[in-house]
Amino acid sequence: MDINSSQNIEIHIPGLEIAAKTWGPEDGKPVLSAHGWLDNAATFDRLAPMLDGLRIVAFDFPGHGRSDHRPPGVTYHFIDWVPIFFDVADALGWQTFSLMCHSMGAAAASLAAGTYPERIERMVLIDGLGPWASPASEAPGQLRKALDERKVLSEKSSRVFNSPEDAVNTVSEVHGLSPANAKLLVDRGLEQLDDGQWRFTYDLFLRGASNLRLTEEQVLAFFGEIECPSLLIRPRSGWPTDAAHMQRRIDAIATLEVFEVEGGHHVHLENPERIVDAVGEFLNPH
């Protein structure tokens, strides 16, 4: 397969239209893929075409890419990403399926696998293992911060660019991506305004703090419910984490194996050849 072999589809879930890309035969093993924060489904444009025997559906989370934004006044809570997996799977008619997700999508996927473990067959997490957690004592301050930021964001407008090339250069610099790979994300997540300028399609409210975070004990409780074989892709130059904290999370998932690889946070986009064999053999074992 190649990038051009993908198809764009719309998936109706309660209250929202979800945009997605698909690869592979319709009778392939079903795999849902979810992207990272402020990214979109194009993050899998390099890796997905290299995987055989799978029916991959990579969706844009609400407020991202080409999917609907949540209605005005409805905020984005991290825990609300979890039902999206099951709403999308239900719309596709998938009772059971595997997951291949990156960053924020991987963090949400690990909670999904602990919520309905009987529905998840296998799971690949690319540089993401559970959400940020906070002690219960920090909850009041977290909510205050979220409300303050929501007010500030309600008075802001999205940044505009004179050309798509300017947006590509920004994404390339901020995320450490090659211009060619940055362009994949930008092409799916940019729109032209009436005045000829350009802006990202993501909902500006996504930049605000979460109203509430889970505690670490709650995160580990979800991990303790995971039953499916799981694979964590850990790029050596990926998202910085505390080693001891990450090891506790790894140890909490009985079925988890770890694959370390040279690369950065977007290794699946920048260097998919480094992980394709491990991911392909894991999701479609022979």
103 is catalytic: yes
pTM exceeds 0.85, yes or no: yes
- Asked if residue 20 lies in contact with residue 9, where contact means CB atoms within 8 angstroms, the answer is yes
Letter for the amino acid at 26?
A: E
Written as six digits, the tokens of 13 are 């879930």
**Domains with residue ranges and CATH for the chain:** 3-134+215-283 (3.40.50.1820)
Distance of alpha carbon 266 from alpha carbon 195, whole angstroms: 33
Q: Exactly one of 6, 33, 98, 103 is catalytic; name it.
A: 103
Q: What is the pLDDT of residues 206-226, one digit of tens each?
A: 999 999 999 999 999 999 999
Tell the residue number behind the tokens 């499916």, with chain if given.
228
Q: To which H or E segment does residue 274 belong?
A: none
Q: Per-residue pLDDT averaged across 63-85, rounded?
A: 95
Over range 255-261, report the average pLDDT.
97
b vs e for 123-151, b when ≥16 Cβ sit within 10 Å of the residue's Cβ?
Answer: bbbbbbbbbebbeeeeeeeeeeebeeeee
pLDDT tens for 104-150 read 999 999 999 999 999 999 999 999 999 999 999 999 999 999 999 99
